[in-house]
Structure 1
């Protein structure tokens, strides 16, 4: 019995775990690379951190995780040195720091630094958590003054801060699972130190009492339950209709043992369903017992419970059973609803479909035969005229009824005759040897004929259409799957590569069901096709980088956007390869690697790729991009993007500037060196604050502070934007008090793509 296994590949869910467990008061965090040779760049920042500081993710990514961009006039240099020392020593650290937001607003922050290890025990990341304690810091400061001046040297305020820090650190780390037990002495108090999740591929943690829904044992059990369901669908109507008219008391208990066994099977099935995994809407296999119970209770539990009521135990305890008890057995037919749920498991086989259709047809005939027999019995009991079909059957078999209740044909003969009549009426108009005589029988016969016409058209008339509709694509799937397996066998591909190919094919087929969107939309008008593609790709088109594009430009871009899918461990891009597209992460998470070091962690909504090169320049990638979880991606090819920008030159210059501010990570080879050359070192003098408004429009410039002397170094990308200015040899001046910077743009460098401008800022 084929079932949907779900997505079973091991995933690195570190980012999802951190984001989930930091939900709430501790949602402000950063992740920094602990293996960097040139500082410790930030590889991920949460939305909460962006809201707290006012910086965007693009502005924060790849900056040093010492967070000097948050420093200001009142930031303690001692704390900054302690942070650097903790980073160098890869140690945990906690302090209260006076930080500044992007708009210049100061705030007190409780900072926690925790190193993150991988499965090898190596420090690979730093986890920075930020807690705004401006309100509590002020209260603590005043309370420390009220304690008396005799404790001024002992710094009671710092003691209060340490106590609050212990509480916050415990609240922070207590959210994580305890991988090991240790103790840390903070302020003389011994507390447990829970572990932080490791940055590694998460192993599937399943209790041995959890049953896999795709296992062989579960498949065999489902077949057994299927047979039991059919048994119930056949015996329950028969027992309700024929058993009350059996001649002996033991006849009604002839199937007692089997009925009780089926009831026990249904009860056991309920218990097993509480411990059986299932596939969530996202395609993930759920192993958690609590989630399994909630899912089952909210879906099929009550139906299964009602269908499993042990009514037959009344016979076992010799309790007198009335006809109403027999009618209660009909609730077991609710079990057929479970059968409808599993029909899709059998629908891929034509033989199984035909068998199920014929079984449904025969089951309907069986139910109508039971009703036909009840009508005949009621006619005998209430009608003085001996014209019912049972009277006629008794006369032909020479077993007539005496006094309307005694005698008559056997139950076996009556059932066979009733089934014969209903089947002949459903498939044709009948032959007349068993016919309706009374009014009730004629009315029911009319109903049978109407249902028979519907069933004949539905079952027999549509069998061919159902098979053609269902198996045209299924046959294509099996054809491609067979070709894929033949290819694997002929070329002797290794098992790991074979598994990756099969899983990718099955997953992509389940997403698009073998439908080629480009081929499907090929015959549609361009206007309609553009509207459809804009709807399909609305997530990527809503990025800030496309805000300046006109609707016509967006429609043209949407025609070049395609979708892709990555499984955990799959490399989307390899270092040194040619980069042909920019990628947008729709779901899942990826990591950017260089020399086995994590440079960035990408999540939903991130954009990776490169800026626009020259017309004939081939973009080489500077890092690997590897999927951590199952990822859905959208991408636009560099060639298609270039073609659209040539059609809309007014947007091309805007895009060339905005792409730098919207790329989460620039994969173009050499972009990291350019970023290091783009650093501007200025003194910590307050005069620098006066020239910030003059520099706000120069988004390509990266500005940092130096406490020794002031060296101004700028590198302007996309020199073609400034071609007119260079051709005229213009001069640009920035002044701030007594500080002047002058640039001479010479004609001799106009042919270069990159322009280096160096000057000295005296102050």
Structure 2
């Protein structure tokens, strides 16, 4: 019997593992490409890093892993050199450093850079984590200053200057006789610099499982499921029969004790197996982790399986005479039939199995009705006087010449037909009731018998009315696999279903289904009518691990939004960007040149759910709303996690060079004459674009910084340092010298 195996393709879950590893501690981290020695560009940054620094993900992507855009005047030159050295040598680095956010707010940061290797042992990525320790550092500095004042020392430097001259770790320099303070700070150092767990490798890896984990789709598990199914049907047949027909008869009860105990043992073993059997999660992933398997089983079928496996039949083995109570308790095992509903999906793919199950369920229902029909007749006899002979059991006894005697119970003897004859007659009546009108040799005579017959016939009619009608035309074979295919996709109505709806309703439905992508800041300035039109051009897509969404040189047909999973952008087998949930990938648009060639490959690392906006439909909407098209063309450049347009880097660089040549060079020359006529200064202009330049840490001359549209200065000569203006601090990675 085929089972839904789940999503079993080998995946590169590096990004998911890293995100899970940092979750709950500090999720401020970036990933950089270690194979590009020129700057080690950032290929991924977390939401926590964006919140910490104030920069958006689009502003951070492709910047240097050294995070030069966070440097400022208080940033230690020696630490900057150490960072550059660690990156060049592909080794681990850990130290404290002062950074500046986008709004020029100074904060202390514990920087930890770790190289990530692939399956060949080559360093392919850098993982840089950032922990904000400003509060801890400020508190320690305050304690040190208070201690120094108590000892009569006067410090004239600023707190941050003092801290920079101290040790570069959280364990600050203290005197040897302060033993208690040393213990507390060592404890703090262990908490911050605790040994991190081993980092995963950046590679495609098969799921690891223990040898004691059973695969839910294995041959052994399939055979075991069939055995448990037969045992479940055995319980469904014997439990009602024993409760109704056997009752307190010890001799008849003990004849099935061995088989009942064997079934209980099977159910107990099945519980043990279920604690070690993989399952398919709601996202389609196969879960191999033993802890997750246990939690999932405990929260789903464990209670029902445990109740069904309680060893009631062991009471017979120890000679405990509570037969009737045990039989009633064993009826809870019928809950085990609920597990059949779990398997009906996969059973429904085979007509032969479906027909067999339907016939079995019909026979089982008739068996239950026969047991109830007998217990009604038996209770009628016990509840009335000895001369009462209207019930169907009395009529059956007269026909079989085995009547019920009034004094049989008093004398301790049995009377009436045998249990075998009574069961066959009862089953015959229920089958005739389920298939016809219930008239025959066995008929309902008393009020209770007639009421039960009416309920059976009405139930049959209701089930016949609501039974699905088969299509007149035969279904193609692949239609059996359509439900499995749709189970892997989001519950989105098909275009064929929506096309018959009114335009108003169709727009409202698509807006609700695609609200996640429409809530991006890119569409904040769009009118409701524009959003309704855009929503009609959004569709969902699905990518498997290793599948290429785009190839280099392909014509870009859509803008993609990652709903779940992770992808990588590749060029010449090098990682340019790693995309996760919430990332937008596409290209900056031009209303004139609408043919866009991609400059890299986009490949899925894990199973990915995507939403894509068709470019043809997008251009049509922008033509209808020209007032919004201008904002969209400008804003999309800031919201794109990675720009796939071919040649966009060269275009941006040429624009900035022309701007420098025509506008800013004369301005810089005038400012140099005004501010630093008597200082030997080197001029640096900061701008946000890739350029071939020298890092700030290599300059040995006094510096003056300028930022585009905001001019501030910081002069320095060997004898005097001019004040730094933080509101005009540079916010860029790259520096061009003049």
3-state DSSP of counterpart to 1:601: strand
> Equivalent residue for 2:239?
236
CA-CA distance at 1:710 after TM superposition: 9.1
Distance 1:713 1:576 in 2: 36
Q: How does 1:143-158 map to 2 (within 5 A)?
A: 146=147, 157-158=167-168
CA-CA distance at 1:170 after TM superposition: 7.4
3-state DSSP of counterpart to 2:581: coil
Deviation sequence 1:210-264 (CA, Å, 0-9, x none): 1111112111111111111111111111111222376xx5332222211111111
> Equivalent residue for 2:110?
110
Distance 1:220 1:40 in 2: 54
3-state DSSP of counterpart to 1:206: coil
Cα distance change of structure 1 residues 172 and 60 upon mapping to structure 2, 3 Å threshold: farther
Task: Compare 6-15 and 390-399 and name the one that shifted more.
Answer: 390-399
1:417 aligns with 2:418: no
CA-CA distance at 1:397 after TM superposition: 1.8
1:610 aligns with 2:584: no
Deviation sequence 1:46-79 (CA, Å, 0-9, x none): 1111111111111111111111111111212222
Distance 1:19 1:738 in 2: 39
**Which of 192, 199, 202 lines up with 2:202 in the alignment?**
199
Distance 1:87 1:387 in 2: 98
Cα distance change of structure 1 residues 373 and 296 upon mapping to structure 2, 3 Å threshold: same
Query: What is the aligned-residue RMSD (CA, Å)?
Result: 3.7
3-state DSSP of counterpart to 2:114: strand
* Structure 1: unaligned runs, 5 residues or longer: 177-194, 482-504, 692-697, 715-732, 740-759
1:368 aligns with 2:345: no
Q: How does 1:178-327 map to 2 (within 5 A)?
A: 195-244=198-247, 249-327=250-328
> Equivalent residue for 1:744?
none
> Equivalent residue for 1:383?
385
Distance 1:734 1:156 in 2: 34
Cα distance change of structure 1 residues 621 and 74 upon mapping to structure 2, 3 Å threshold: same
**Which of 447, 451, 461 lines up with 1:446 in the alignment?**
451
- TM-score, normalization: structure 1? 0.79
CA-CA distance at 1:85 after TM superposition: 1.1
Distance 1:735 1:347 in 2: 72
3-state DSSP of counterpart to 1:633: strand
Distance 2:656 2:11 in 1: 38
| Preserved CA contact (<8 Å) 2:590 2:633 | no
Cα distance change of structure 1 residues 583 and 476 upon mapping to structure 2, 3 Å threshold: farther
1:96 aligns with 2:96: yes
Distance 2:56 2:163 in 1: 41
Distance 2:710 2:398 in 1: 118
| Preserved CA contact (<8 Å) 2:76 2:164 | no
Distance 1:286 1:32 in 2: 30
Distance 2:254 2:529 in 1: 78
CA-CA distance at 1:516 after TM superposition: 6.8
> Equivalent residue for 2:400?
397
Deviation sequence 1:454-510 (CA, Å, 0-9, x none): 22441x5555x25449x98xx3561597xxxxxxxxxxxxxxxxxxxxxxx987533
3-state DSSP of counterpart to 2:20: helix
| Preserved CA contact (<8 Å) 1:277 1:285 | yes
Distance 1:153 1:56 in 2: 30
| Greater relative contact order structure (CA < 8 Å, 6+ sep) | 2
> Equivalent residue for 2:21?
21
Task: Compare 352-361 and 573-582 and name the one that shifted more.
Answer: 352-361
| Preserved CA contact (<8 Å) 1:426 1:453 | no
Distance 1:13 1:153 in 2: 40
CA-CA distance at 1:630 after TM superposition: 0.6
- TM-score, normalization: structure 2? 0.82
Cα distance change of structure 1 residues 671 and 446 upon mapping to structure 2, 3 Å threshold: same
Cα distance change of structure 1 residues 711 and 251 upon mapping to structure 2, 3 Å threshold: closer
1:559 aligns with 2:536: yes
Distance 2:533 2:430 in 1: 63
Q: How does 1:130-141 map to 2 (within 5 A)?
A: 130-141=130-141
> Equivalent residue for 2:354?
353
| Preserved CA contact (<8 Å) 1:613 1:619 | no
| Preserved CA contact (<8 Å) 2:170 2:189 | no
Deviation sequence 1:514-538 (CA, Å, 0-9, x none): 9872111112222222111111211
CA-CA distance at 1:429 after TM superposition: 2.4
Distance 2:591 2:239 in 1: 78
Cα distance change of structure 1 residues 141 and 736 upon mapping to structure 2, 3 Å threshold: closer
Deviation sequence 1:69-109 (CA, Å, 0-9, x none): 11111212222111111111111112221211111111121
> Equivalent residue for 1:630?
607
| Preserved CA contact (<8 Å) 1:140 1:157 | no
Distance 2:172 2:30 in 1: 22
> Equivalent residue for 1:332?
333
Cα distance change of structure 1 residues 63 and 566 upon mapping to structure 2, 3 Å threshold: same
